[in-house]
Amino acid sequence: MDKKKVVAPLVCHGHSRPVVDLSYSPITPDGFFLISASKDSTPMLRNGETGDWIGTFEGHKGAVWSCCLDKHALRAASASADFSAKLWDALTGDVLHSFDHKHIVRACVFSEQDTNLLLTGGFEKILRIFDLNRPDAPPREIDSSPGSVRTVAWLHSDQTILSSSGDAGGLRLWDVRSGKVVQILETKFPVTSAEVSQDGRYITTADGSSVKFWDANHFGLVKSHDLPCKVESASLEPKFGNRFIAGGEDMWVHVFDFHTGEEIGCNKGHHGPVHCLRFSPGGESYASGSEDGTIRIWQLGPLGQIEDNSTANGSTTANANDGISEVTQKIDELAVSETKKMEETQVDGVEQKVVDA
């Protein structure tokens, strides 16, 4: 049988520790951009199409758990284990403001409409809404979370907030005006990933070994798919909504048919668990971040074509030969080994406070 033609992913090096969050900007006149969060304390900005490094945001003193870009890709935000969330100038890399918290900040996101609000959550079990037009003003606080906040998102033109807890199952929907929980989407395990689809129709969640799709307006469960391993992240293709991706403990990036749940692709190449996955805003590619410290950008093949990048093994170009692929794989494995040694031998006052939720 002839081998399928395999398009290898773009492999983005730069982080020295695990990549734990990824976020794309919308498409702007200058293209679209990708920001990554890592336990190495330095978020990085890249060209979303090519993966080329643009800049590094330096200033945090602990692991960065979450990051995002505003809709114009002019500002970035990050949430860190150093008890702060920071607002950055995405053009210069300068810190515009640092928002102090009393514990580890696990999640942050800009409001969708005017991007002048920043929502944060973390180990304090409090949701905070900061007005970026008045950054020194006290934030609005919503403090009824059942446990530490793991993920946050805006819904319904910023009238509703989604949050999940690292200590309890379920996704909570909060009315912004009243600050009250209006709905709980029940899950058996804590939700580790929550995404609102680009058209606002679906909420995609990952909990345990399950990926679920919820009606974002009526909150009913639309579909649920079980995977053979624990899933940490999932993302729905934004343009047609006909495919979704999921990844987790098995180190692979799986591609599924949204309607049937059939697995139509499996991308292998990471050398550690996959912590985060996101589709690009146009849906032509998707990015994965892993324990191995790398980001990989995969091209999405035609729907009728079964995707299998199992022979890519870390190649950085589609035309890389077997020798280069083998060397790249060994370098990646060495990087993971060195990272594990660092984690076992280094003691950092801030990072001792970090607990994987």
The confidence score (pLDDT) of residue 339 equals 46
3-state SS, residue 322: helix
pLDDT, tens digit (0-9, with 9 covering 90-100), for 87-102: 999 999 999 999 999 9
Residue pair 100/83 in contact by the 8 Å Cβ criterion: yes
211: number of CA atoms within 13 Å, CB side? Answer: 29
Helix (H, G, I), strand (E, B) or coil at 239: coil
Closest CA to 65 of 111, 24, 23: 23
User: Whose CA is closest to 33, among 21, 42, 43, 45?
Assistant: 45
137: helix, strand or coil: coil
Asked if residues 127 and 144 have their Cβ atoms less than 8 Å apart, the reply is no
* 163-167 contacts, C-beta under 8 A, 24 or more apart: 163/107, 163/121, 163/127, 164/190, 164/191, 164/192, 164/194, 164/205, 165/190, 165/191, 166/106, 166/190, 166/357, 167/357
Sheet holding 127-131, edge to edge: 105-110, 117-122, 127-131, 140-142
C-alpha to C-alpha distance for 58 and 101, rounded to whole angstroms: 19
45, 46, 52, 53 alpha-carbon torsion, rounded to 10°: 0
Q: Is the pLDDT of residue 309 over 70?
A: no
Three-state SS at 351? helix
Residue 296 token pair:
């990989």
Return the pLDDT at 228.
87
Query: With 70 as the cut, is the pLDDT of residue 225 above it?
Result: yes
Task: Report the percentage of the chain scoring pLDDT > 90.
Answer: 78
Task: pLDDT band for 326, please (50, 70, 90 cuts).
Answer: very low
Q: Which token pair is 241? A: 């909504």
Instruction: Average the pLDDT over each of 12-16, 50-54, 231-235, 299-303 and give the range with the smallest value.
Output: 299-303
Virtual torsion, Cα 50, 203, 270, 243, nearest 10 deg: -70
Amino acid identity, position 248: G
Write down the mean pLDDT value for the chain: 86
What pLDDT shows up at residue 299?
Answer: 93
Residue 340 is given by DSSP the state: H
How would you label 104-116 residue by residue, b for 16+ Cβ within 10 Å and e otherwise? bbbbbbbbbeebe
Q: In this model, does residue 119 exceed pLDDT 90?
A: yes
Confidence band for 305, pLDDT divided at 50, 70 and 90: very low
- Tens digits of per-residue pLDDT, 159-216? 999 999 999 999 999 999 999 999 999 999 999 999 999 999 999 999 999 999 999 9
Q: What is the pLDDT of residues 239-288, one digit of tens each?
A: 999 999 999 999 999 999 999 999 999 999 999 999 999 999 999 999 99
- The pTM of the full predicted model, rounded to 2 decimals, is 0.84
At 278, give phi and psi (nearest 5°). -150, 140
Average pLDDT score over residue span 53-77? 97
Residue 19 CA: distances (Å) to CA of 136, 213, 239, 244? 30, 25, 26, 21
Q: CA-CA distance, 173 to 179, in Å (whole number)?
A: 10
